[in-house]
Amino acid sequence: MRFNAKDLALLAKRPSGCFDKEGKLKICRLVGDEKLIEPRERWCRLKGNLLFLMKNKSSEASEVVILERCWVVEFRSKTDVSIILKFQSGEPDLYLEAASKPDCEAWAVALGEANSEGLRNKIQQLRRLIMEIKEERASDEARQFLPSSQVDSLGEPQFTSIQRIANEPKLEFSLACKGLVAATRDRKLNTFIQVSVVHPAEHILTRYSSTEIVEGTRDPLFLTGVTFPPEYPIYEETKIKLTVYDVKDKSQGTVRTSVLPDHKEPRADVGRSFLGCTTFRVGDLVKSKEQQLTLTLRTSDGGKTVGTIEVNLVKMGEFEDGEMGHITTDAQDQKCALVRECTTPEGLSGKDNLPSLNAVLKNPICKLYRFPTSDNKWMRIREQMAETTLSFHVPKELINLHIKEDMRRNQELKDLGELAPHWDNMRKSVIAHCDQMLSMYQDTLAELGKHTGSSFKSSCSKGEKTLEFIPINLHLQRMHVHSPRLKDALYDVITVGAPAAHFQGFKNGGLRKLLSKFEAERRNTGYQCIYYSPENTAKAKEVLSNINHLQPLISSHADLLLNSASQHSPDSLKNSLKMLSEKTELFVHAFKDQLVRSALLALYTARPGCVIKKPAVPRNSAEEGDDLKHQDHPSQIKRQDSIPHHSEYDEEEWDRVWANVGKSLNCVIAMVDRLLEKDSSKIKEGENDPSAADCKVLHAGGDWYEQLYPLVITLKDCMGEVVTRAKQSMAFVLLQELACGLPQCLMLTLRRDIVFSQALAGLVCGFIIKLHTSLHDQGFLQQLHTVGLLVQYEGLLSTYSEEAGMLEDMAVGISDLQKVMFKVIEAKSEDFLPIITGRREHYVIEVQLPAKMFELLPQEIKEGKLLRMYPVLFNVGINEQQTLAERFGDTTLQENINQENLELLKEYYNLFTEKMPPDCLPHFQEQNDLKGLLENLHQNIQAKRRKNVEIMWLAATICRKLNGVRFTCCKSAKDRTSMSVTLEQCSILRDEHQLHKDFFIRALDCMRRMPHRECTEECQMQKVCIQHDTTDGFPKVLQTSRRDIWKS
């Protein structure tokens, strides 16, 4: 950064009244939690975003801290008077200590508001305050001029609403100009229209949107229309102002398309010049007989006529005719991708599914286009981008589950009992570290609970610690196509930033490399602790999960059995016994693993003063098999190599305890059979002697309960003993996993949780939207519960520098999604947000549907069948960093990921062809054999060509043909993602809806003007078209639109 040292020195010496805040603070730098030196007292002066540090009030400034891209950490305790400044750049933190708590709080507020972000928040707050004041003033003024019929009993002005279909835009219209007059005769006009809105209650001009630029004609017909979303406050009394500009320099011509209040005309700088403007009432357009207005364009003084403008009301279900000969285009021999889909959106406009879908999607941005087809007809396209509430809902639910799981694990470690000093010290260290991580999760959850405002995380926040579990720029990108000769179609793509731990950084790589390195190092720590393989560690977690799940169920069924006995209900007794037997059998088989036995041995040797017993009688697996009904003896599996074998250890003790559960159950079963047999004999006797039978029945209920009660108590006691031993042994296994890698193990778990949280939020969003879109597609629903859902991720990350680490994180996060199962349930309330249950590596997402929608599902899904996911990732780096990686670096990571996921895709295809009929696939205009596409994809992956975007297009085509869900990801889901998505959309229009080949480039131009949400919300870009310098190094098919991309 360049700065003028003299000017800064003069600024630091200005009088005290010129500064925002000043005073004494003790200051030092921090690396991690360590202070480099003891804090030294400095006189601090704050001016704007500059913090001057001086030895005393009259000395020169020794240091200047620029308060940008940093945040303030204030400690909330009553005694702590220190705050910390953290910097996104990674430079050491700045520790500041005040003299008192009030002074500390004042400095925290001042520093927090000092940067440009704080200033932007102040400006937004002031704007909102001004708008509120103007709304109050406008309502008072409107009351004086409006007729009394338009004023309600409360005195508020009433306006006429526009009647539209639910969840459809309130108003849509297209624009065209004729006979525009240029300043000079020879001038070829390059025009666009700025659309502004005058609200009737405010009388304030608000910029709303603009069209694309049409070059070289005085009769431009604009392909980009204007659309007002359902929640926009527009009425028949609303006025719309249309301003036409001539663009001399196209790079200066595109104006903001977001809704920005501005009471002044857009300035006419050297890049564009004002031609003319006109205004019309919305009611005039809606009520016009032809649903069309022809308006005269006049200069700003209202005198000179400079042409006319046609406004046509648009309804997606109707067609329009028009001449297209005067539309100019410079597109010749264009190239494009091969991406196809045809989904019939039947029932999507119904009101039944709106509440549940609106619970997930919010704040849509809509764009309207009309493009010519190859047979000279018009097709209409509505493009919509929407946020999702799941960006925050899913991570908060996950963190809450992590907290509960970790608290349960910590308690299990504490319940291990007395251990030898070495193991006890190890346990104390592990618990201390786990408590720190647990506190961090709790703090993160508390901070997310305070979050208000936008429902997505913008890219500039990807380095914020409090938001590290939140996905970046998660949005739905939807294209609704209405063609003259084809069915309406919906095409959805979920766009999201690559799931990665940005706050933790990528200095040492991503999860793929870190996990491999950690596992190799953990194998070499056997002298400190016992090494268990990742498979055995996962098995231990599964056993603990089964215990926590089955034990309360068995206890509940046992109580139901006793209740049935007390009521003397034979049928209920049989049903209760059946459920108890099934759950107990599952419980017993959960411990049918050598891991439990070997872990018990290891735990036994870790006890202080353990005594090893030699079994008195050799094992007899045949006898044991007789004792356990319907059970096989545990297979003999080789012991862990690192566990010493104690020949005198009494291994039969665990077998006896384990077998006692089965024996107790057999006793209960035998007693129930005996009771039922006696009952049936009494009924036969009663037929002969009714009076005697009545007397016996009075005491039968009590007899049943009294005879079953001690057997059920014995079963519960035996089960409790098994649970205690098994829990301790499995907790000991987890202790080894944690102790072998502190603190790296916990940090890797945290990183994996962060990445998984981001990936899962996108997956849940994609599943819900796909389910709503395909509720009337019986073939898809059958595929969903028979085979599962294919989820294809298109990655655009390079394999160079930090992005290689992001790709490693992303690959692991997406792979972890294979362990996620979905379940569709009927909603019992108006809250339709999904419910997440389970534990790490085994989550179930319960998607709630309203009753009318739930009834449309197949019986298998309604009965709660778990639905599998098949996520696959194909990555092709396309930017200039990938050029460096291909020439001077290494692309092995990308090649390995693509090859591994190709095998997963083939596995899904084989499963699909085995279980599903071919007629359940969607129909396409251009049919390609799936087997041939897979072979083509395999050849392209093996070819190892540079920036081979054919891999992306083939994978996307296969995904759509297999009814899958599509994701497109890059670092921040902005430039590269928007380039890919818009090209894919135009390709679909060309291949599936007969887009005229001469208008492919213009269609691409129009769609690439659609702003991503981040630009819309934060107003960061004056123009939203993709700039040339952002596409350096891109393949030609993905570069900006003035390229030869038709013949790809």
User: Could you give the residue numbers annotated as active site?
Assistant: 970
DSSP string across 991-1033: HHH-B-GGGHHHHHHHHTTSPPHHHHHH---S--SPPGGGSTT
Give the DSSP H/E element, type plus range, for residue 586.
Answer: helix 570-589
Give the DSSP H/E element, type plus range, for residue 480.
Answer: strand 475-482
Closest of 548, 594, 536, 525 to residue 412, by C-alpha? 548
**Separation of alpha carbons 457 and 471, rounded Å:** 7
Say which DSSP state 466 is in. Answer: G
CA count, 13 A, side-chain hemisphere, 384? 23
Rg of the chain's alpha carbons, rounded to an integer?
35
Strands 1046-1046 and 334-335: parallel
Closest of 721, 877, 726 to residue 795, by C-alpha? 877
Q: Which residues pair with 244 in a beta bridge?
A: 193, 276
Tokens matching residue 440: 């961090």
Closest of 503, 437, 510, 426 to residue 472, by C-alpha? 503
**Separation of alpha carbons 903 and 886, rounded Å:** 24
Which pairs count as long-range contacts for 55-64, CB under 8 Å and 24+ apart, including other chains? Answer: 60/9, 60/12, 60/13, 61/8, 61/9, 61/12, 64/8, 64/12
Tokens matching residue 988: 């679909």
Region of 347 please: left (phi>0), alpha (psi -120 to 50) or beta. left
Q: CB under 8 Å to 244, separation ≥6 — which residues?
A: 177, 180, 191, 192, 193, 194, 274, 275, 276, 277, 297, 306, 307, 309
Closest of 287, 286, 309, 284 to residue 220, by C-alpha? 309
Is residue 734 within 8 A of residue 409, CB to CB? The reply is yes
**Separation of alpha carbons 675 and 708, rounded Å:** 9
**Separation of alpha carbons 418 and 654, rounded Å:** 19
Closest of 353, 434, 497 to residue 731, by C-alpha? 434
Is residue 240 within 8 A of residue 264, CB to CB? The reply is no
Q: Which position has the token pair 């939690």?
A: 33
Is residue 171 within 8 A of residue 281, CB to CB? The reply is no
The whole-angstrom distance between residue 947's C-alpha and the CA centroid of its chain comes to 27
Closest of 976, 988, 984, 930 to residue 953, by C-alpha? 984
Closest of 926, 933, 947, 937 to residue 1031, by C-alpha? 947
Report phi then psi at 183, rounded to 5.
-65, -35
Q: What is the SS3 assignment for 200-269?
A: CCCCCEEEEEECCCEECCCCCECCECEEECCCCCCECCCEEEEEEEEECCHHHCCCCCCCEECCCCCCCC
Q: How far apart are the first and last CA of the chain?
A: 43
Tokens matching residue 175: 């624009």
**Separation of alpha carbons 878 and 799, rounded Å:** 10
Q: CB under 8 Å to 297, separation ≥6 — which residues?
A: 177, 180, 244, 275, 276, 277, 278, 305, 306, 307, 308, 309
Burial environment of residue 661 by CB neighbours within 10 A (0 to 12, 13 to 18, 19 or more)? buried
